[in-house]
Amino acid sequence: MRDIIIIGGGASGLVAAIYAAKSGSKVTILEKNKTLGKKILITGNGKCNYWNDDQSLVHYHSNNSEILKSILTKENKEEILNLFNTLGIIPKIRDGYYYPYSSQATSIQTALIKEVELQGVEVITETEVLNIKKDNDLFQINTTNGIFNSKKVILSTGSHAYPKTGSDGLGYKLATTLGHNLIEPLPALVQLKANTPYLKEWHGIRSDVSVSLIENNQKIATQIGEIQLNNYGVSGICIFCLSGQATRGLYLNKQEQIAINFLHPFNINNKEEFINWMDQRNNLVKNRTISDLLDGLLNYKLINLILKLSKINRDNPWNNLSIKEKYLLGSKLTNFILDITGTNSFDQAQTCTGGIPLTEINPNTMSSTITKDLYITGELLDVDGDCGGYNLTFAWITGMLAGLGASHD
Q: Which tens digit of pLDDT belongs to each residue from 382-400?
A: 999 999 999 999 999 999 9
Give the pLDDT confidence score for residue 217 in this predicted structure: 97
pLDDT (tens digit, 9 = 90+) per residue, 315-338? 999 999 999 999 999 999 999 999
Give the pLDDT confidence score for residue 163 in this predicted structure: 73
Whole-angstrom distance, CA of residue 146 vs CA of residue 237:
43
Second-level CATH architecture of 2-187+351-408? 3-Layer(bba) Sandwich (3.50)
Looking at this protein, which amino acid is placed at residue 63? N
pLDDT (tens digit, 9 = 90+) per residue, 185-198? 999 999 999 999 99
Quick one: pLDDT band at residue 25, thresholds 50, 70, 90? very high
Give the pLDDT confidence score for residue 169 in this predicted structure: 85
Give the pLDDT confidence score for residue 147 in this predicted structure: 96
- The pTM assigned to this predicted structure is 0.93
The pLDDT of 83-89, averaged and rounded, is 97
Question: What would you measure as the largest C-alpha separation in the chain, in angstroms?
Answer: 86
The pLDDT of 251-268, averaged and rounded, is 97
DSSP string, 309-343: HTT--TTSBGGGS-HHHHHHHHHHHHSEEEEEEEE
Tell me which residue of 248, 241, 250 sits closest to 194, measured CA to CA.
Answer: 250
Tell me which residue of 310, 315, 313 sits closest to 334, measured CA to CA.
Answer: 310
The pLDDT of 97-104, averaged and rounded, is 96
**326 φ/ψ angles, rounded to the nearest 5 degrees:** -65, -40
CATH class given for the domain over 191-343 = mainly alpha
Q: Residue 24 — left, alpha, or beta (φ > 0 → left; ψ -120 to 50 → alpha)?
A: left
Question: Using an 8 Å Cβ cutoff, are 150 and 3 in contact?
Answer: yes
Q: Which of 21-25, 255-259, 287-291, 390-394 has the lowest mean pLDDT?
A: 287-291
Measured at the CA of 47, the angle between CA 15 and CA 97, to 5 degrees, comes to 80
Tell me: pLDDT of 173 over 80: yes
Tell me: pLDDT of 240 over 70: yes
Letter string b/e over residues 26-65, b meaning 16 or more CB atoms within 10 A of that residue's CB: bbbbbbbbeebbbbbbebbeebbbbbbeebeeebbbbebe
Output the CA torsion sign for 140, 109, 394, 168.
negative
Tell me: pLDDT of 166 over 70: no
CB atoms < 10 A from the CB of 374, how many?
A: 25
pLDDT (tens digit, 9 = 90+) per residue, 348-384? 999 999 999 999 999 999 999 999 999 999 999 999 9
* Structural domain spans, the chain: 2-187+351-408, 191-343
Q: H or E element: which one contains 62?
A: none
